[in-house]
Amino acid sequence: MTIILDPDRVWIDGCFDFTHHGHAGAILQARQTVSKENGKLFCGVHTDHDIQHNKGSPVMNSQERYEHTRANRWCSEVVEAAPYVTDPDWMDRYQCQYVVHGDDITLDANGEDCYKVVKEMGRFKVVKRTYGVSTTEIIHRILTNNTLAPTHPDYYANTQELGFYSVAEDAVSKHCYVFQKDLSNVLVSGGYDFNVGDCVYVDGDFDLFHMGDIDQLRKLKMDLHPDKKLIVGITTNDYSSTIMTMKERSLSVLSCRYVDAVIINADADALAQCNWKKYRIDTAVLTEGGNFSEYLTKDVIVKRIESRRDVY
Ligand code: CTP
């Protein structure tokens, strides 16, 4: 059978453990390699068993990783249980000519390059890896209680980074607004006419942004208020109580498909002045009925990591 590869379909694969903004950056860049209008990005996500065998036990289980990747704004389709060593037959199945990967080398359990075969076939494209974030480093930070202070130059994302992650599903058009503190300071302007009356607002620190959070955002946006724009306020709190920097939290939230605007350092008092219907992220209504939100919290993740201290 002749396989017709479609230049508008591209493949990316990985563990996507914690699905942090480095993964989101690779997914976004991969989506940019195909056309804005008709491009499709297939995200192959490996099983727990394959990751355990080749790299070591993931923190997030396969269902959590599949769904988190599915919630990424630039991912057109998740391919579950994709092989750890990239298999051109799987890419053919989805008519993808190329696989995209960050500019680092990924080895399998035998020390072989996972992309050797597809590189030899000329079906490999490289995008820029996001430096300064990795699953291993986040685990280390949790285990050593080592967090960055807001005075650190990397604590906040700059407007260029915020703008990069604010784009729509097509990975090009403007989408999310980004505000600072309240609505008076626009850092990035979005792709629609902003009108407070058309919005619902939710806030939280969104530390270790995970499927429990995403379930809640999905419920707000898709079930409760499908006609409204969802604004997510990321609160500052006491910085030492958050493991992730504001940059990591804001870029992760921006890459979630249910989000239409983000307020960095959201000031609850200032926002309470707004005439918005306000939902707190931790209300029972947002937690109940979610496959993940009923059990997954930041504390659960931290405990999971601490209980495997010897493995990590
Ligand atoms: N990636 C990236 N920037 C990062 C981390 C990952 O661009 N900081 C890219 C990888 O290059 C790959 C994709 O994200 O194309 C999925 O990576 P994954 O298989 O999940 O694993 P790692 O590269 O090992 O990521 P991490 O170290 O965070 O686990």
Query: What ipTM does this complex have?
Result: 0.97
CA distance 282 to 83: 37
| Residue where a domain terminates, one of 71, 102, 131 | 131
Position 272: which residue type?
A
Q: What is the predicted pLDDT for the residue at 183?
A: 85
- Looking at the domain assignment, is residue 60 inside a domain? yes
Identify whether residues 112 and 172 lie together within a single domain.
Answer: no
Q: Whose CA is nearest to atom 27 of ligand 1?
A: 134
Q: What is the predicted pLDDT for the residue at 145?
A: 85
Tell me the two tokens of residue 276. Answer: 């918005």
Q: What is the pLDDT of residues 252-309, one digit of tens each?
A: 999 999 999 999 999 777 676 665 656 655 566 777 878 999 999 999 999 999 998 8
CA distance 223 to 169: 20
- Looking at the domain assignment, is residue 226 inside a domain? yes
- Looking at the domain assignment, is residue 144 inside a domain? no
Indicate the number of domains in the chain: 2
Q: What is the predicted pLDDT for the residue at 150?
A: 87
- Looking at the domain assignment, is residue 2 inside a domain? no
Identify whether residues 234 and 276 lie together within a single domain.
Answer: yes
Q: Whose CA is nearest to atom 10 of ligand 1?
A: 102
Identify whether residues 41 and 85 lie together within a single domain.
Answer: yes
Identify whether residues 19 and 124 lie together within a single domain.
Answer: yes
Determine the distance separating the centroid of ligand 1 and the alpha carbon of 14, expressed in angstroms.
Answer: 7
User: Which residues of the chain, if any, have pLDDT below 70?
Assistant: 237-240, 270, 272-284
Q: Report whether residue 136 contacts ligand 1, using a CB cutoff of 6 Å.
A: yes
CA distance 254 to 256: 5
Q: What is the CATH number of the domain that holds 45?
A: 3.40.50.620
| Residue where a domain terminates, one of 104, 131, 158 | 131
CA distance 46 to 56: 12
- Looking at the domain assignment, is residue 238 inside a domain? yes
Identify whether residues 102 and 230 lie together within a single domain.
Answer: no
Task: Name the H helices within the chain.
Answer: 21-31, 48-54, 62-70, 88-93, 116-120, 135-144, 159-164, 211-218, 246-254, 268-272, 284-287, 298-307
Angular region, 265: left φ>0, alpha ψ -120 to 50, beta rest:
left
Q: Report whether residue 199 contacts ligand 1, using a CB cutoff of 6 Å.
A: no
Residue 129: exposure state from Cβ atoms within 10 A (0-12, 13-18, ≥19)? middle
Pairing mode, strands 6-14 and 40-45:
parallel
- Ligand 1 atom nearest residue 128's Cα: 7
The string of DSSP codes covering 179-211 is EETTTTEEEE--SS---GGGEEEEEE--TT--H
- Looking at the domain assignment, is residue 307 inside a domain? no
| Residue where a domain terminates, one of 131, 164, 195 | 131
Q: What is the predicted pLDDT for the residue at 45?
A: 98
Q: Determine which helix (DSSP H) or strand (DSSP E) holds 113, and give its type and residue range.
A: none
- Looking at the domain assignment, is residue 11 inside a domain? yes
Identify whether residues 88 and 56 lie together within a single domain.
Answer: yes
Q: Whose CA is nearest to atom 25 of ligand 1?
A: 134
- Ligand 1 atom nearest residue 103's Cα: 11
Identify whether residues 159 and 267 lie together within a single domain.
Answer: yes
Enclosing domain of residue 23: 7-131
- Ligand 1 atom nearest residue 135's Cα: 28
Identify whether residues 16 and 83 lie together within a single domain.
Answer: yes
Q: What is the CATH number of the domain that holds 203?
A: 3.40.50
Q: Report whether residue 55 contacts ligand 1, using a CB cutoff of 6 Å.
A: no
Q: Report whether residue 58 contacts ligand 1, using a CB cutoff of 6 Å.
A: no
- Looking at the domain assignment, is residue 220 inside a domain? yes
